[in-house]
Structure 1
């Protein structure tokens, strides 16, 4: 059997279907079992969780279609939440009012192995860009820093 093919594998401890692989593994912390869910191309599992013992209370319960589908759904949700959290860490915005106009100030950080970059943008009520400047990725966007940037005429913050 080769795991490189696109053919599904449905074994008691290994289930490969679509872009997902479920592998039942021995739990290193105790006598129990765990299941690891991998998405194709992922170096780390998207999800690792406890797995049920079989009737003999020694071996793991075999994987089946229903369990696999539930594991895929749960792993997708974990990935989605992780992506949302990362997005929130890298993209922040505040809204301020200047001379009766609402201005949204957005900070967008782009991670990069060679060094992250960041952009500060000012947008009006219609999301029309008023200004954009490069800032250091460690720039702290607050209501005060946003107001100071607008008051400076959108000069690059130091």
Structure 2
């Protein structure tokens, strides 16, 4: 979609089937699944659509309803929220934590997974009640953080896990 990325406000396209503003491009497309239409929302600089959804037929019941300012603003709000939720879900799946009570102190145990197609890695960290990092070790990216695994790590004085 790089050909649609505007360089300044004067180059924005605002037509019946393509509308650009606010860092987004809406493109009305033929729906491959049926005879209707869909709208694809692209964030500037992204090749893949962030969101694709059904689009309303026009009055002639053959062509799509034209995009306009109000419809575009609604689409931007929906697509932005969808992207935000996806980013939150991804962050939650890659970053887990739990609280653990040791004999002398309480700890927050965190697992951070760093995705990579070829060589993903993960780190297990322990923080005291003041937020000071007490330990950090590299673990397998499929390490399961739960109360039992965290307690076992604590009982081994936060030793490296193989």
TM-score, structure 1 as length reference: 0.94
Counterpart selection for 1:30 from 19, 29, 34: 34
List alignment gaps of at least 5 residues for structure 2: none
**Corresponding residue to 1:54 among 54, 58, 61:** 58
Report how far residue 4 of structure 1 moved: 5.3
Q: Which residue of 2 aligns with 1:148?
A: 152
C-alpha displacement of 1:41: 1.9
Matching of residue 74 in structure 1 with residue 78 in structure 2? yes
| Matches of 1:46 and 1:5, distance apart in 2 | 18
How many positions carry a matched residue from both structures?
A: 157
Structure 1 residue 107 and structure 2 residue 111: aligned?
A: yes
Q: Kindly indicate whether residue 107 of structure 2 is the aligned counterpart of residue 130 of structure 1.
A: no
Q: Which string of whole-angstrom CA distances, capped at 9 and with x for unpartnered residues, describes residues 8-32 of structure 1?
A: 1111001122321100011111111
Q: Residues 61 and 28 of structure 1: is their aligned pair in 2 closer, same or farther, counting only changes over 3 Å?
A: same
Task: List structure 1 segments (4+ residues) > 2 angstroms apart after TM superposition.
Answer: 2-6
Higher deviation after alignment, 59-68 or 36-45: 36-45
Q: Which ranges in structure 1 are unaligned for 5 or more consecutive residues?
A: none
Of 63, 68, 72, 2:67 maps to 63
What is aligned with 2:47? 43
**Does structure 1 retain, via aligned residues, the 8 Å contact 2:4–2:25?**
no
Kept in 1, the 8 Å contact 2:95–2:110? The answer is: yes
Instruction: Map Cα deviations across residues 105-134 of structure 1 (whole Å, 9 max, x no partner).
Output: 000011123311111000111111111111
Root mean square deviation, CA, Å: 1.3
Asked whether the 8 Å contact 1:95–1:105 carries over to 2, the reply is yes
Partner residue, 1:13 = 17
